[in-house]
Every structure is written in structure tokens, then in C-alpha cells.
Amino acid sequence: MGKKSESGTLFGIPYNFKRPSIGRLLSAHWKPDKGMLVEKPFGIGYTLNLASWRSWIALAVVGGLLYQERSGGSDDDGDSVDIDGDDGDEPVEVIVEE
């Protein structure tokens, strides 16, 4: 059988299974002449190019969303008051008279 390729593309998605080195790992994430996404130094797909300002905005947005999720941010604005003390998990029956 022929030798399998360690790097290339499959259906337009790059892959690279060559043994990674520190230099290759560092240089893959800092390419000022490339766009926001660059090929991963090891594995399948793309990674962020930290030389692009768009990547830093994407990281800030993701970090803000994670912070909001973990800090317990909720959708309500705090105006509702729970009168009977239950947590609101029970169904509510609404009767509308015409």
C-alpha cells in the first residue's frame, strides 16, 4: 500500500498530522499577511490568526458571552416580584371570561 499523506486538504478543509514543533505552533497563530483564519498547525480545520484585529474582537465577544453566562446573567430586568415564594416551575391556569 502507498504511504498516507500527513497533510493536505479533504473536501476543502485542511488537515496536518505532522509532529508539531514549538516554532510551528507559535508561527501558525501569528501571520500578519493572512486573514482572520489560518490553517491549524496540528489537526483538522482552521484557527484564529492573532495578528488580525478581527480575531481579538471575536475573542472579546466570546469572552464577554462566557462571562455573562457564568455570572448568572438572566434575560429578565428584575421588575417581576414573586409574591407566593415559589420558583415558578409549576404551570399556571389562566381563565379568560368574555
- Structural domain for 49, as ranges: 7-70
Q: Is residue 76 assigned to a domain?
A: no
Read off the pTM: 0.57
Rounded Cα–Cα distance for residues 58 and 4 (Å): 36
**Which residues does residue 31 pair with via DSSP β-bridges, in sequence order?**
none
pLDDT number for residue 8: 85
**Residue 25 three-state SS:** helix
Residue 75 inside a domain? The answer is no
At residue 70, the pLDDT reads: 93
Q: Is residue 59 part of a domain?
A: yes
The structural domain count of the chain equals 1
pLDDT by residue (tens digit) across 22-74?
Answer: 888 888 888 898 889 998 888 898 989 999 999 999 999 999 999 999 998 55
In a domain, 52, yes or no: yes
Q: Is residue 87, in this structure, part of any structural domain at all?
A: no
Question: β-pairing, 43-44 with 13-16?
Answer: antiparallel
